[in-house]
């Protein structure tokens, strides 16, 4: 049976709770990621920032706040004040079916993968889609 460790992404972009929303926004934009695990100095998983969380902290353009003002605000709001800390995680040894069930049951887009409190990877919807595509290609040679 496939385990989370077999499909997870191990090169994860992380930030620290003392950093700011400006860094989260930049990282998500530059690296095209929607989930940023938050760790402490020894890589202990402490929270998660998602694109949805970031959008919730953004002042609406309807409020006529310009981009410079939003950037100023982002530079002064620390991740610790907005990150989620009650995050479901996966163990690297968890079977893939259980991980998928967790995502579907809770309508999450990712599960940080944690072993002994340390972040070792992340498994996202994209990882499951890649797995599905690989399985489909293996079973159907016409699948592109």
Q: What is the CATH number of the domain that holds 74?
A: 3.10.580.10
User: Is the residue at 121 inside a domain?
Assistant: yes
pLDDT in tens, 54-74: 888 776 555 566 677 777 777
Look over the chain and give the mean of its residue pLDDT values, rounded to a whole number. 91
Three-class SS string for the chain? CCEHHHHCECCCCCEECCCEHHHHHHHHHHHCCCEEEEECCCCEEEEEEEHHHHHHCCCCHHHCCCHHHHHHHHHHCEHHHCCECCCCCECCCCEHHHHHHHHHHHCCCEEEEEECCEEEEEEEHHHHHHHHHHHHHHHCCCCC
Q: What does the alpha-carbon distance between residue 100 and residue 66 come to, in Å, rounded to a whole number?
A: 40
- Domain extent, residue 104, equals 4-139
**Partners of residue 38 on adjacent β-strands:** 15, 47
Percent of the chain with pLDDT over 90: 78
- Residue 54 included in any domain: yes
Low-confidence ranges of the chain (pLDDT < 50): none
pLDDT at 144: 79
In a domain, 29, yes or no: yes
Whole-prediction pTM: 0.88
Q: For residue 144, tell me if it sits in a domain.
A: no
Count of the separate structural domains present in the chain: 1
């Amino acid at each position: 049976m496939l385990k989370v460790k077999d499909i997870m992404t191990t090169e994860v972009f992380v930030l620290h709770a003392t950093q700011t929303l400006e860094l989260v926004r930049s990282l998500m934009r530059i690296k095209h990621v929607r989930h940023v695990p938050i760790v402490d100095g020894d890589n202990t998983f402490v929270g998660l920032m998602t694109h949805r969380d970031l959008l919730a902290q953004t002042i609406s353009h309807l409020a006529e706040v310009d981009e410079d003002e939003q950037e100023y605000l982002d530079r002064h709001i620390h991740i610790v004040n907005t990150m989620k800390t009650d995050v479901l995680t996966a163990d690297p040894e968890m079977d893939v079916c259980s991980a998928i069930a967790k995502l579907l049951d809770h309508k999450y887009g990712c599960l940080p993968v944690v072993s002994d409190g340390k972040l070792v990877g992340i498994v996202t919807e994209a990882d499951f889609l890649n797995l599905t595509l690989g399985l489909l290609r293996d079973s159907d040679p016409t699948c592109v």
